[in-house]
């Protein structure tokens, strides 16, 4: 009996050792005005800027017109970039991101033209994620956890990223989709992503906003942006 208990304890320890982020990033805190309210704003065609408690995340669709070597120089500054891959292979893989020296880039771990190049001391810092992999970032007292999420049951590819922005006991969860969703997939999203507060979804006419706690009808991200308030959990 004692042997069984010891083996179970060792197994539990092994499982717990695997729980946690694949990457951990610490950024130096900057000056900002504390507020439990954050904002999602358009930053160009296929670009969304998420700001919360001094932390800035740039969500980029590789399908967008703004994903090019020329446009990248005009992108707004951010602490982290989250890239959703092109669905048609219309652009040159990761080449447009080469000028972003030192910037962390989260993206699905795939092969082919979107495979992450070997580190060479130049360009971005790549953080490729498989399904259920996570990156944990901390900037001062503000935290961010990015988790690569699966799609419908039976699929293994990364369908999107869950971004949980936190400060103290309050947090806000934004789901960033990688591919457009059909109507039935939209209706299933709240059940598939329990606890998520907002979804940003790609569409032909630009990024769509879907507040998961109040609506199942996506709408265009307004020019003035979308303000959100962190939830005490």
- Give residue-wise pLDDT tens across range 107-149: 998 766 567 877 777 889 999 999 999 999 999 999 999 999 9
| Average pLDDT score over residue span 191-213 | 87
pLDDT of residue 185: 86
Model pTM?
0.86
Sheet containing 104-108, strands listed edge to edge, beginning at the edge strand earlier in sequence:
125-129, 104-108, 80-84, 55-61, 47-52, 37-44, 226-229
State how far the Cα of 34 lies from the Cα of 186, in Å rounded to an integer: 34
**CA angle, residues 133, 174, 68, in degrees to nearest 5:** 80
Q: Are strands 142-150 and 134-139 parallel, antiparallel or unpaired?
A: antiparallel
CATH topology of domain 21-232: Metallo-beta-lactamase; Chain A (3.60.15)
Helical (H) or strand (E) element with 229: strand 226-229
* CB 107 within 8 Å of CB 83: yes
- Give residue-wise pLDDT tens across range 57-87: 999 988 888 888 889 989 999 999 999 987 6
State how far the Cα of 44 lies from the Cα of 143, in Å rounded to an integer: 25
pLDDT > 60? residue 56? yes
- Give residue-wise pLDDT tens across range 149-188: 998 777 778 999 999 999 989 999 999 999 888 888 888 8
pLDDT > 60? residue 4? no
Domain boundaries, the chain: 21-232
Cα radius of gyration rounded to whole Å, the chain: 18
């Amino acid at each position: 009996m004692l042997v069984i208990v010891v083996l179970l304890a060792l197994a539990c320890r092994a499982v717990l050792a695997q729980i946690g982020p694949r990457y951990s990033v610490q950024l130096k805190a900057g000056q900002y005005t504390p507020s439990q309210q954050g904002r999602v704003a358009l930053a160009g065609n296929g670009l969304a800027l998420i700001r919360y408690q001094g932390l800035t995340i740039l969500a980029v669709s590789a399908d967008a017109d703004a994903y090019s070597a020329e446009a990248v120089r005009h992108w707004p500054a951010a602490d982290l970039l989250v890239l959703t891959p092109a669905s048609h292979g219309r652009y040159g893989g990761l080449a447009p991101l080469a000028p972003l020296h030192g910037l962390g880039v989260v993206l699905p771990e795939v092969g082919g033209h979107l495979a992450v190049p070997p580190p060479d001391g130049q360009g971005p810092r790549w953080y490729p994620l498989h399904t259920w992999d996570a990156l944990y970032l901390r900037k001062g007292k503000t935290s961010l956890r990015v988790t690569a999420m699966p799609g419908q049951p039976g699929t293994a590819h990364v369908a999107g990223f869950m971004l949980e922005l936190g400060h103290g006991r309050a947090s806000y969860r934004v789901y960033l989709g990688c591919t457009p969703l059909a109507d039935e997939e939209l209706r299933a999203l709240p059940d598939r992503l329990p606890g998520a507060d907002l979804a940003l979804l790609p569409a032909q006419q630009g990024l769509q906003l879907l507040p998961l706690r109040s609506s199942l009808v996506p709408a265009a991200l307004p020019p003035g942006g979308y303000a959100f308030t962190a939830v005490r959990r």
